[in-house]
Amino acid sequence: MRTAVIGGGSWGSAFARYLGSIGLPTRLWVREHDIYQELLRSRENPTFLPGFTFPEGVGFSEDLRETAGSADVIFVAVPSQFCRSAYARMAPALRKGQILVSLTKGFDKRTLMRMSQVMDEVFRPHVLPHLTVLSGPSFAREVAAGYPTALVVASKDPSAAREVQHLISSLTVRAYTSSDVIGVEVAGALKNVIAIASGIVDALEFGLNSRAALITRGLVEITHLGVALGARKETFSGLAGMGDLVLTCTGELSRNHRVGQQLGQGRTLREILAGMKMVAEGVHTTMAARRIARTLGVEMPISEEIYQVLYRGKPVAKVVADLMSRALKPE
């Protein structure tokens, strides 16, 4: 079984390294020429995954179409705002029977579609592969290091989900299957918004009570939006929901949490993003979530306040006061 990973960022690099480590012939496509040259020279990606060498079974490419066309299973780990263009470039090279796995956690900025919806739209006029989604609590460096990790593979096609499940499962990664593609994608995207809020809470040194309350109420509003979009409520209690939310809101490796910390320290969004090499998906997802929630009439107070901080410059002290003084109601 030949695999390909599209995207040479931290998650794409870590996942390609993992696939190679379990003996799967894997090709990693990278966009940046300097990173590609460094991979050829040292078999390391010091920009996005420093300290890890790729196994011999992993090759590298700058040719997106050739990489996608040569694989049986394609894992796409491209930031959400670049996915549509990457899909469009890949589409003519796809073959019938391939499986495509989205590792991206976010929404299409223009259409507000989930990634699997964008894939379906872009690929259908060409050849529509078997579409699946992979999510769950998984920091890139810990997967690369071989720490035990549990993930969920979601697809409308049960056989495709099972094939990916068996393909990637090992003594360090355990994969579960789900048919709730909507729930898995919504949970994976929106947890990044709550992680920004968690970073603010930590910067303000509010303590563990505040963090626990934020995670719990954050899960409530994520679930409400997901169910309104057609997801199953129970999905949000699983790996893609509560599991990924807890990880991203508490882990020091979370980019979105770091964005929140810096906001809580008084830095502006422009200043924060100017100093980042990696994409913090929650910044873009906050705007998308707000638009979706308003369209559906779903109340998302935490996400709304993060939008106000990111895009309206609202002081974080005022955010806390406004959230704590909202009208009282049953849980």
C-beta neighbour count of 69 within 10 angstroms = 16
* Distance, CA of 77 to CA of 52 (rounded, Å): 18
Close Cβ partners of 190 (under 8 Å, ≥ 6 residues apart): 222, 225, 226, 285, 289, 303
Residue 237: helix, strand or coil by DSSP?
A: helix
Q: Are 160 and 134 in contact (CB under 8 A)?
A: no
Is 191 annotated as catalytic? yes
Look at residues 289, 317, 292, 316 and name the one whose alpha carbon lies nearest to residue 303: 289
Distance set, CA 98 to CA 48, 91, 152, 326, 328 (Å): 28, 12, 20, 50, 52
Give the active site residue among 109, 191, 314, 329.
Answer: 191
- Which has the closest alpha carbon to 105: 85, 130, 68, 80? 80
Residue 223 C-alpha from the chain's centroid: 17
The 10 Å Cβ neighbour count of residue 97 is 9
Are 50 and 13 a contacting pair, CB within 8 Å?
Answer: no
**Which residues are designated catalytic?**
191
